[in-house]
């Protein structure tokens, strides 16, 4: 049994020509593969309805006199409205790859399958553009038919959500003459707004732009936004036409192998006249075929169209992003900070004492040199980077996370030259670049969001945050504009914050826990036999110092007792005893250090 398909296309248009070639190629492929329709041959019949609603109705009724299983068309939303009624009555799927009218809803036309994007999406996009540039009013130039009026009505609804509006509507009749176009554009030129949205058909859209150029409406101060009609004259995908034909053919094979039709009782009650109404029949498998088609996931040359419901992750809330999506309340504060080499916490006096002791140790035993070098390495005595202010006054290279907004912020907001920025991909890259330093192919510091730096530092004690956080932002979840979900999510985040749960999560995963004292770690957890030997010698030295300190303290106490006793026997004798005590104390010190060596 033959399947008859009606592509209601204007064959002389660019889309019609391409669609015709694609459909013929698809039918040839289907009929050459016996596994698709199991021996049944598909017959393709084409008629050109020339954008006429009346001709579309007549041709569709004529085709229904045969056993038609699907209709592919039309290019016009006007004819799609007409044919959709016929498709509903005879339960024949109607697939249109060009009818974009938002009112062609599946509720009204259950057998209408739109294989292109609804105009509602592009009108929402235009409204986003208007809001982004902070315009408040636009002028709509459109074709005065179902396609034009319904599309502009959808645009008005989307603009209202942004607190914007259409200040002037300029309808044009289909196939308007150049004089009629000129009269309309002159009225547009006299209005205040200079933001113009043109929603027409490819047949005369360029004529409108040509007249606008002639009237000087393409110069500075004017903004023109064209809907998808313009893209159809610049090039069109024709892969979907071929894919739709294949999809219909394969879905027919899933109808149980029984393609059958039945009479329409409504038509038998009418006075048929010259119309062969009794020859028209209902496709019994139409509902199943339509359901299978709706499950299709066709991909054109530009890939599938995707619309996200939510974006969950470490998404920084920055100004540019808030113009495109709605964010929740931040679930973590994460401004930009500078990560660098840990600053020394030893005071100037402490450094002097340390150097004196190390010098004494060096004199006592040269074998301690390796231990002294280890101490000096661990207790880094200085770090020249004190924060973002230091980086702004030097020419040292700066690391940042590749792909993050930190790089753009440093260039555009702080004026740091791009040549100074080094993109890094991982915490290991951070550590290696910081250890090398700016003079050895590394970086002076790393700039990144606080949460990332805290995670990096949690296992690397030799580095720290230097200076203050110099931007204030956080991470949140992103949703499409005007979605109701951000409010509910923000409420849940605030509750977790008030309960302290967010802070507990932060402390568990981002607080420094890998080390407490680097010197203690070095002494208690040697990494090799050599370092163990050096640590043991250093321990013996410290024990020796503690012992001698205690001996000196005891002797000093004993001399104090003797001094108190001598005071009762006279000043001169006391003075002499006191001097002898000091000399003896000094002598004992020298002897004690000498014997220790």
pLDDT per position as a tens digit, 335-350:
999 999 875 545 555 5
Domains 4-114+238-294 and 119-227 share a fold: yes
Whole-number Å distance between alpha carbons of 272 and 213: 55
Q: How far is CA 33 from CA 36, 39, 255, 527, in A?
A: 6, 8, 18, 71
83's enclosing H/E stretch is helix 77-90
Residue 26 has a pLDDT of 80
391's enclosing H/E stretch is helix 388-392
- The 10s digit of each residue's pLDDT in 413-469 is 999 999 999 999 889 999 999 999 999 999 999 999 998 998 888 888 889 999 999
Whole-number Å distance between alpha carbons of 349 and 314: 45
- The DSSP code for 438 is T
Residue 39 has a pLDDT of 72
- Give the pLDDT of the chain (597 residues) as one tens digit per residue: 344 444 444 455 666 677 777 778 888 888 888 777 777 777 777 766 666 667 767 777 777 777 777 887 666 788 888 888 888 888 888 888 778 888 887 678 888 888 778 899 899 999 999 998 999 999 999 999 888 999 999 999 999 999 999 999 999 998 889 999 999 999 999 998 999 999 998 778 889 999 999 999 998 889 999 998 887 665 444 344 444 444 554 555 555 455 555 665 655 555 555 556 666 677 777 777 776 666 555 554 445 545 566 777 788 898 888 888 899 999 998 899 999 987 554 555 555 555 565 555 555 544 444 444 444 444 443 458 889 999 999 999 999 998 788 998 999 999 999 999 999 988 999 999 999 999 999 999 999 999 899 888 888 888 999 999 998 889 999 888 788 888 989 999 999 999 999 898 888 877 765 554 444 444 444 444 454 555 565 566 556 656 655 666 666 667 766 766 666 555 544 444 444 433 333 333 333 333 333
Residue 353 has a pLDDT of 56
Whole-number Å distance between alpha carbons of 470 and 459: 24
CB 448 within 8 A of CB 401: yes
Token pair 């605030």 is at which residue?
A: 494
What's domain 119-227's superfamily in CATH?
A: Response regulator (3.40.50.2300)
**Cα distance between the two ends of the chain:** 112
Query: Domain boundaries in the chain?
Result: 4-114+238-294, 119-227, 526-596
Name the phi and psi angles at 380, rounded to 5: -30, 120
Residue 78 has a pLDDT of 80
Whole-number Å distance between alpha carbons of 221 and 556: 93
Residue 365 has a pLDDT of 47
Q: How far is CA 533 from CA 76, 563, 596, in A?
A: 89, 45, 20
Residue 360 has a pLDDT of 57
Q: Which residues of 465-484 are buried (b: 16+ CB within 10 A; e: fewer)?
A: bbbebbbebbbbbbbbbeee
Residue 493 has a pLDDT of 92
Q: Looking at domain 4-114+238-294, which of 3.40.47.10, 3.40.50.2300, 3.40.50.300, 3.40.190.80 is its CATH number?
A: 3.40.50.2300
- The 10s digit of each residue's pLDDT in 491-550 is 999 999 999 998 988 888 777 655 544 444 444 444 444 545 555 655 665 566 566 556
The dihedral through the CA atoms of 301, 304, 307, 311 has a sign that is negative
- The DSSP code for 201 is -
Residue 143 has a pLDDT of 93
CB 400 within 8 A of CB 448: yes
Whole-number Å distance between alpha carbons of 531 and 378: 14
Residue 428 has a pLDDT of 92
Angle at 428 between CA 427 and CA 433, to 5 degrees: 100
Kindly report the pTM of this predicted structure.
0.45
Token pair 């004798």 is at which residue?
A: 573
């Amino acid at each position: 049994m033959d399947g008859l398909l009606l592509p209601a296309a204007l064959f002389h248009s660019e889309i019609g020509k391409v669609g015709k070639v694609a459909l013929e190629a698809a039918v040839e492929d289907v009929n050459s593969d016996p596994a698709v329709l199991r021996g049944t041959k598909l017959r393709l019949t084409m008629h050109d309805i020339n954008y006429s609603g009346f001709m579309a109705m007549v041709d569709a009724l004529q085709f229904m006199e045969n056993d038609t299983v699907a209709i592919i068309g039309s290019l016009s939303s006007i004819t799609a409205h007409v044919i959709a009624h016929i498709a509903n009555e005879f339960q024949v799927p109607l697939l249109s790859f060009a009818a974009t009218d938002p009112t062609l809803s599946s509720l009204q036309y259950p057998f209408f399958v739109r294989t292109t994007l609804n105009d509602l999406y592009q009108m929402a996009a235009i409204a986003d553009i208007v809001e982004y540039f902070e315009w408040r009013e636009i002028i709509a130039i459109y074709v005065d038919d179902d396609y034009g009026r319904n599309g502009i009505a959808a645009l008005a609804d989307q603009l209202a959500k942004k607190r914007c509006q259409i200040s002037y509507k300029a309808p044009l009749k289909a196939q308007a003459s150049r004089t009629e176009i000129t009269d309309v554009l002159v009225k547009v030129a006299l209005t205040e707004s200079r933001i113009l949205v043109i929603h027409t058909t490819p047949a005369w859209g360029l004529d409108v732009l040509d007249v606008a150029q002639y009237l000087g409406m393409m110069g500075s101060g004017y903004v023109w936004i064209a809907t998808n009609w313009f893209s159809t004259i610049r090039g069109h995908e024709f892969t979907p036409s071929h894919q739709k034909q294949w999809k219909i053919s394969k879905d027919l094979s899933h109808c149980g192998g029984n393609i059958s039709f039945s009479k329409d009782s409504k038509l038998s009650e009418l006075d048929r006249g010259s119309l062969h109404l009794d020859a028209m029949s209902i496709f019994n498998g139409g509902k199943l075929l339509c359901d299978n088609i709706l499950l299709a996931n066709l991909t054109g040359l530009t890939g599938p169209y995707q619309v996200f419901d939510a974006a969950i992750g470490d998404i920084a809330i920055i100004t540019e992003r808030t113009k495109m999506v709605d964010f929740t309340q931040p679930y973590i504060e994460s401004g930009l900070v500078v990560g660098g080499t840990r600053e020394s916490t030893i005071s100037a006096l402490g450094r002097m004492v340390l150097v004196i002791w190390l010098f004494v140790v060096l004199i006592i035993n040269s074998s301690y040199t390796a231990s002294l070098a280890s101490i000096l390495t661990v207790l880094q005595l200085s770090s020249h980077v004190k924060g973002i202010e230091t980086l702004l006054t030097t020419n040292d290279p700066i690391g940042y996370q590749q792909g993050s907004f930190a790089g753009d912020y440093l260039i555009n907001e702080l004026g740091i030259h791009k040549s100074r920025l080094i993109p890094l991909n991982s915490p290991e890259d951070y550590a290696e670049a910081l250890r090398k330093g700016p003079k050895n192919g590394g970086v002076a510091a790393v700039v990144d969001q606080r949460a990332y730096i805290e995670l990096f530092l949690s296992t690397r004690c030799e580095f720290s945050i230097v200076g203050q956080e110099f931007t204030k932002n956080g991470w949140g979840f992103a949703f499409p504009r005007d979605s109701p979900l951000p409010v509910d999510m923000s409420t849940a985040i605030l509750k977790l914050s008030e309960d302290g749960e967010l802070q507990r999560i932060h402390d568990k995963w981002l607080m420094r826990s890998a080390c407490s004292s680097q010197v203690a770690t070095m002494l208690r957890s040697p990494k090799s036999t050599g370092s163990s030997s050096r640590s043991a010698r250093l321990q013996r030295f410290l024990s020796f110092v503690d012992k001698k300190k205690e001996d000196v303290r005891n002797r000093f106490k004993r001399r104090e007792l003797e001094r108190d006793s001598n005071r009762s026997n006279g000043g001169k004798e006391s003075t002499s005893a006191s001097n002898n005590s000091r000399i003896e104390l000094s002598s004992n010190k020298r002897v004690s250090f000498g014997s220790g060596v």
